Amino acid sequence: MKRALITGVTGQDGSYLAEVLLDRGYDVYGLVRRTSGGPSDILEQLHRTRGLHFIYGDLHDVASLRRAMEIAKPDEVYNLASQSHVGVSFEVPEDAWEVNYLGAGRVITEALKANKATRIYQASSSEMFGTTPPPQNELSAFAPVSPYAQAKLRAHKEYVVGYREDKGAYVCSGILFNHESPRRGKHFVTRKITLSLAKIKLGLQERLELGNLNVKRDWGYAKEYVVAMHTMLERDSAEDFVIATGVQHSVREFVDAAASVLGMPVLWEGSGVDEVGKNKKGEVIVSVNPKFFRSREVSDLVGDASKAKRILGWEPSVSFSELVSMMAKADYDELVRSAQ
């Protein structure tokens, strides 16, 4: 039986990846930080019913990572742990550097020290392309603008490309474009939109405040993206792959799509910081709050995943409208359930 260690197992991608690897017959170990909330119900259930193992550890703590490698003895390591919020990385830049660059280095180095044949997946990001015009693919220039992306890029260059070329290590970067799901963290824009609009619909919240409505992202479904991570590590040689849908939408379009799923279409008025979205009664339900603007913004991302299609046979099947609908309905249904 193959063994896998997932860092960041408590995050969105970690939980989906744990399910995929368990389904594929792996013995799966998840690195968890000690937090007051503990692992989510989904993970607790995977632990109870499907044998997912938890190991306490932290990317700040090299001894904990060494211990995790000794316990898990992984054939494959998926380094998904990170300070993953780009906006927050402007406010707490050293933490982004510490976890996303140095921490990634600790994971990858310890994995290879424990077993130099370990296959390693590093969660790189489309944010590394920064201001490079779309579409972006594996050959596009990197031009990161956030502390988050600068740290991810340094990890990619030093511990993925560098270790592959200098040590012959099996390390792949998945350069994933934004991917979302009902399990998405509540401070990322898509989930913030679906959860807030569901609350507005139920009279639990008055207004949704957002930052830049014009930025465009290539949003796919996380459950499909984690399959690509595993498929990358099944190949004989390690390479990097862009994973994306190839379709982009603005934040405003995401709001429109979610609001219409919830049966409350938004009418936009004004522009810039004065732009508002009104419901059909004329009440403002969406407004712009400059506190959500970023000091440097990545305004235009859309990925070209043709290499992944050609070599991995991977392509997405869930459309933008299906994704938005899944997320909006999940938030609405959960709020209704918890009110009963």
- C-alpha to C-alpha distance for 111 and 91, rounded to whole angstroms: 31
CB of 228 to ligand NAP, least distance (A): 11
Angle at 112 between CA 107 and CA 114, to 5 degrees: 95
> Which positions from 276 through 295 interact with ligand GDD, judged by CB under 6 A?
292, 294
Kindly state whether residue 211 participates in binding ligand GDD, applying the rule CB under 6 A: yes
Q: Using alpha carbons, select from 66, 70, 68, 76 the residue that is nearest to residue 25.
A: 76
Reported in sequence order, the residue ranges of 177-305 that DSSP labels E, i.e. its strands, are 179-180, 208-210, 216-217, 220-221, 241-243, 249-250, 267-269, 276-278, 284-288
- The stretch among 94-102, 185-193, 222-230, 242-250 that binds ligand GDD (CB under 6 A) is 185-193
> Which positions from 214 through 233 interact with ligand GDD, judged by CB under 6 A?
215, 217
> Which positions from 89 through 148 interact with ligand GDD, judged by CB under 6 A?
125-127
List 73, 186, 187, 296, residue binding ligand GDD (CB under 6 A): 187
List 7, 10, 84, 231, residue binding ligand GDD (CB under 6 A): 84
87 binds, among ligand NAP, ligand GDD, none (CB under 5 to 8 A by kind): ligand GDD
**Local structure of 29: helix, strand or coil:** strand
x/- map, 27-66, ligand NAP, by CB under 6 A: ------x-x----------------------xxx------
Question: Residues 6 or more apart from 46 whose CB is under 8 A from it?
Answer: 15, 18, 19, 22, 52
Task: Tell me whether residue 69 or residue 286 sits nearer to ligand GDD (CB atom).
Answer: 286
CB 254 within 8 A of CB 272: no
Kindly state whether residue 244 participates in binding ligand NAP, applying the rule CB under 6 A: no
Q: Kindly state the tokens that stand for 280.
A: 């059909």
CB of 128 to ligand GDD, least distance (A): 8
x/- map, 167-186, ligand NAP, by CB under 6 A: ---------x-xx-----x-
CB 222 within 8 A of CB 42: no
List 4, 5, 8, 233, residue binding ligand NAP (CB under 6 A): 8
The residue count for binding ligand NAP (CB under 6 A) is 25
Kindly state whether residue 89 participates in binding ligand NAP, applying the rule CB under 6 A: no
- C-alpha to C-alpha distance for 12 and 4, rounded to whole angstroms: 17
Name the burial class of residue 281, with classes exposed (0-12), middle (13-18) and buried (19+) by CB atoms within 10 angstroms of its CB.
exposed
SS3 content of the chain, % helix, strand, coil (to 5): 45, 20, 35
CB of 337 to ligand GDD, least distance (A): 25
**Around Cβ 291, how many Cβ atoms within 10 Å?**
7
CB 191 within 8 A of CB 185: yes
Kindly state whether residue 87 participates in binding ligand GDD, applying the rule CB under 6 A: yes
Q: Kindly state the tokens that stand for 94.
A: 């050293």
Residues that bind ligand GDD (CB under 6 A): 84, 86-87, 125-127, 177-178, 187-190, 192, 210-212, 215, 217, 251, 292, 294, 297, 301
Q: Return the active site residues.
A: 125, 127, 148
Residues that bind ligand NAP (CB under 6 A): 7-8, 10-14, 33, 35, 58-60, 80-84, 99, 103, 123, 125, 176, 178-179, 185
